[in-house]
Amino acid sequence: MSIVNGQTVDATGASLVADVRHFLLQSPRQLPSRGLYDELGSSLFDAICHLPWYPVTRAERRLIATHRHEILSCAGWPDRLIELGCGNGDKLLLLLGPHRASTERGVRRIDLVDVSPLALATAARAVGDDRDVVVVTHQLRYEDGAARAAASRLPGERIALLFLGSNIGNFDPPGARQFLETLRKTLRPGDCLVIGADLVKPEHELLLAYDDPLGVTAAFNKNLLVRINREMGGTFDITAFDHRALWNADESRVEMHLVSRKPQHIDIPAAGLSLDLRAGDSIWTESSYKYDPSRFSDMLRRSGFAPARHWIDHEGQFLLVAASVVGDQ
Ligand code: AVI
């Protein structure tokens, strides 16, 4: 998170106040999932990644650790890695492998893009430690960070852009496509995009992943209202909300909602907003799209990428794709 003009902004550059004003009065009521990641929300998400019922992170880590050579080779042993949403840098560390291993084959510079200064500092320390590599951090939203990093490319440098963690799943399909097209424009033929996506799996597994028995995902979801109460003087009665996860098969997405168990009148002074919820009314807080490999490759192709190789973990949970950039667009 960073503060711009006194308002908290996140990776998309949107402010919580503007989001609350715009989305909460829509039908159905919504709050964009970007609001979930304040400091507490980010810690809760880290905890989710350790839950036995949330396979996404483990599956992706396994894939990167097992196939790191193939991934880097498929990306043409890039001179430069740019990671969007680097978090604490743990996945990049897996890709780089044991100290010095990757730099022997050419990675000379790593650009880290995140909106969290803490994440950038942690990741920069982790990946730069004892490696003969230049690490540059960009506290910017994804697209701006990618553009800034790529703009400093040296003649002949080959770039691999990493967008991991199934973050693409939190974009709706038109948004995902637009985002990929923007990334494509920052790259050149010969560069590579390495991107992760969560795969469709049986409904009961998806529901357990997004409504875990420990209630961590429920806390992660409800924290959005805690945030609005704290930062904007909101009067949500948090104790009267239930977390609900549902699988929308038609749209191939898991949805998270917050459902009020009672009628409540809510004021949100900083947004100049008042609203009334009836018992059973819900606020839609996140969509997490699940892909099958061919649909995901199609989307990449339509966005100007040529999927070159993909890896799926042995449990069929997660997809990692290396896609090259072809032609000039
Ligand atoms: C960050 N993102 C990929 C996670 C997901 O699976 O959509 C966020 C999350 N929401 C609930 N659990 C995890």
pLDDT for residue 327: 76
How far is ligand 1, taken at its centre, from the CA of residue 288, in Å?
Answer: 7
What confidence tens digit (pLDDT) does each residue in 242-292 have? 999 999 999 999 999 999 999 999 999 999 999 999 999 999 999 999 999
Does the pLDDT of residue 6 top 90, yes or no? no
What confidence tens digit (pLDDT) does each residue in 140-160 have? 889 999 999 999 999 999 999
Nearest to 253 by CA among 313, 206, 192, 308: 206
pLDDT for residue 15: 84
How far is ligand 1, taken at its centre, from the CA of residue 273, in Å?
Answer: 28
| Length of the chain (residues) | 329
Residue nearest to atom 9 of ligand 1 (CA): 45
* Mean local confidence (pLDDT), 34-51: 92
Residue nearest to atom 12 of ligand 1 (CA): 210
Cα torsion for 227, 90, 247, 52, to the nearest 10°? -100
What confidence tens digit (pLDDT) does each residue in 49-93 have? 999 999 999 999 999 999 999 999 999 999 999 999 988 899 999
Spatial contact of 167 and 193, defined as CB atoms under 8 Å apart? no
Q: Which atom of ligand 1 is nearest to the CA of 49?
A: 13
Cis peptide before 28 (omega within 30 of 0): yes
Spatial contact of 183 and 193, defined as CB atoms under 8 Å apart? yes
List the beta strands (DSSP E) in 108-212. 109-114, 134-139, 159-163, 192-198
**Are β-strands 264-268 and 273-277 bridged in parallel, bridged antiparallel, or unpaired?**
antiparallel
Best substitution site from 46, 48, 57 to test ligand 1's pocket, by max atoms within 8 Å of Cβ? 48
How far is ligand 1, taken at its centre, from the CA of residue 254, in Å?
Answer: 10
Does the pLDDT of residue 105 top 90, yes or no? no
Pocket lined around ligand 1, Cβ cut-off 6 Å: 48, 56, 165-167, 169-170, 210, 217, 286, 288
pLDDT for residue 106: 76
pLDDT for residue 319: 98
Residue nearest to atom 5 of ligand 1 (CA): 288
